[in-house]
Amino acid sequence: METVLVTGAGGYIGSNAAEYFVRAGYRVIGTVRNRVAERLTRLGIETAKIDLAEAEGLPRLFDGKIDYVVHIAARASDTGRDEWFRKANYETVKSLAAAAMERGVKRFVHLSTADVYGLRDFNGESEDELEFDETAANPYPKYKILSEKWLAANLPRERFSCVRPCVVYGRGDTSITPRTVAYLKNSPLAFHFGKWRGRNRWPLAHVENVCRTLHAAMILPEAGGEGVTVLDSRRVTVGEYYRELAAEFLPGKRLRECCIPMWAIRPVARLSTFLSRNRDKPLFDPTLYALDTVSHNLDFSNRRMLAWFAKAGLEEFRHDTYR
């Protein structure tokens, strides 16, 4: 039985990935920082309590035979200090990948983000057509880009791959779904910003599709040295997303929508970003980063994801709930 080391197994995506790989027949070791979820121990997932930012402790993760590393642990937020992201999302990647290569790991799979392409209007471009947004100022995509570049420059192509999910949702979501539901619950109106007026694509990626893509990226020879966008085939606009969430989580609430020009909201977003610069979460929405996300048409191609699924004998997961 091959062994997969899943970092960040105590988190949302990491816990789903750890459970997925157990179901797929792998022995799974998951890193956690603090509390070990009962869900993991019940499934027989071995856990290692470790702070991945402490490089000197990383070698002990490889005391036993590790066949693959799926690196999910990261700082994911649209606010926070640059140095926080550099340490968690860049320095840790370098240290962990180097340790994995020294110990003969077959492939290092890095969970990145589709935000490496930038926040602008897209029109179905594929990975072959897209480039990194070298102007990225927000530390979240900035250090994901730098990590991907470091892996490409320092690891053999066949021994790494990068998975770039869009907006992840699904079972156990502790991020975007509860944040949006809280916004819809407390706001008298659902606001749309800019020219798209809520008709722009909201790029959803179900957590199960993220797990399946991680699996394909781990085992397929053609995935070596490549990046892949994770995006559900079902096209959902921002307006549709708000209405679907309200129907599922706020039944009976009459959702009224309103459109605001960018010039009117950008000063508010700039203030939110400034006041939240030393916080893990924004003081209030929208931040500049969140504003650029919801006001652009993030319409990528998922052809590579589907092609990898077919080659790995996997099928796309189709959602019927946001829970």
The tokens 């019940």 sit on which residue? 42
For the domain that residue 74 is a member of, what is the CATH number?
3.40.50.720
The tokens 């096209």 sit on which residue? 235
Whether 23 and 92 map to the same domain: the answer is yes
**Among 267, 246, 268, residue whose Cα is nearest residue 187:** 246
**DSSP strand E in the chain: where?**
3-7, 27-32, 46-49, 68-71, 107-111, 160-165, 167-169, 190-193, 204-206, 227-230, 257-260
Cis peptide preceding 286, ω within 30 of 0: yes
Q: Is the pTM of this model over 0.85?
A: yes
Distance, in Å, from the CA atom of 15 to the CA atom of 214, rounded to the nearest integer, reads 13
| 175 touches 184 (CB < 8 A) | no
The dihedral through the CA atoms of 132, 134, 135, 141 has a sign that is positive
Segments forming the whole domain that contains residue 190: 176-199+236-294
pLDDT in tens for each of the 323 residues of the chain?
A: 999 999 999 999 999 999 999 999 999 999 998 766 677 878 888 888 888 888 788 888 988 899 999 999 999 999 999 999 999 999 999 999 999 999 999 999 999 999 999 999 999 999 999 999 999 999 999 999 999 999 999 999 999 999 999 999 999 898 999 999 999 999 999 999 999 999 999 999 999 999 999 999 999 999 999 999 999 999 999 999 999 999 999 998 889 999 999 999 999 999 999 999 999 889 988 999 999 999 999 999 999 999 999 999 999 999 888 98
What's the number of domains the chain is made of?
2
Whether 259 and 112 map to the same domain: the answer is no
Residue 257 lies in a domain: yes
Whether 303 and 264 map to the same domain: the answer is no
Whether 247 and 284 map to the same domain: the answer is yes
Distance, in Å, from the CA atom of 141 to the CA atom of 118, rounded to the nearest integer, reads 8
The tokens 């939110």 sit on which residue? 272
